Amino acid sequence: MEFTHLDKQGKAKMVDVGDKNITTRTAFATGKIILPVKIMKAILDNSVPKGDVFSVARVAGIMGAKNTSSMIPMCHPLLINSCSVDFNIDEKNSLIKVKCTVNVDGKTGVEMEALTGVSVALLTIYDMCKGIDKGMVITDILLEKKTGGKSGIYERGK
């Protein structure tokens, strides 16, 4: 088996994507944060002392996706076409599901950007709410779907 991120001497290297075709590539990832009830109430009442949790987490997630290559060593810098971060509130179970969708026309995929966007948005929710209660749990960060590139479509569960 040949490792794509190692040279012949076993040293780390970035994959050469120079000969790959530019294709439209999309990825979306999700993750959850389970919250103590008092935090869910503060978020819904917009009474978190640090401000509007969703606005800040949305911008943070987009910034995380845009800066993935500066945090994950073997990721290529990408000129992202679009990035969105959305929230699904499950008040009954006191959790928030975060979804990040990233689109690019490029030579390499955007899975890591979508996963990073979700992760940074979730961490931002934690940061903004930790003064109320540190008992939050970040969980289930995963790639749901990706399209484009040589490997084609991947859909979780299919």
Burial class of 126 by CB neighbour count within 10 A (0 to 12, 13 to 18, 19+):
middle
Q: In this predicted structure, what is the pLDDT of residue 74?
A: 86
Which residues are known catalytic residues? Answer: 127
Q: In this predicted structure, what is the pLDDT of residue 12?
A: 73
pLDDT of 17 > 60? The answer is yes
**Model's pTM, two decimal places?**
0.92
Ordered structural domains, the chain, with CATH: 27-148 (3.30.70.640)
Q: In this predicted structure, what is the pLDDT of residue 6?
A: 65
Predicted confidence (pLDDT) per residue in 69-111, tens digit? 999 988 999 999 999 999 999 999 999 999 999 999 998 889 9
Sheet arrangement for strand 154-155: 80-90, 95-106, 23-34, 137-147, 154-155
Q: In this predicted structure, what is the pLDDT of residue 2?
A: 59
**Residue 4's pLDDT band (boundaries 50, 70, 90)?**
low
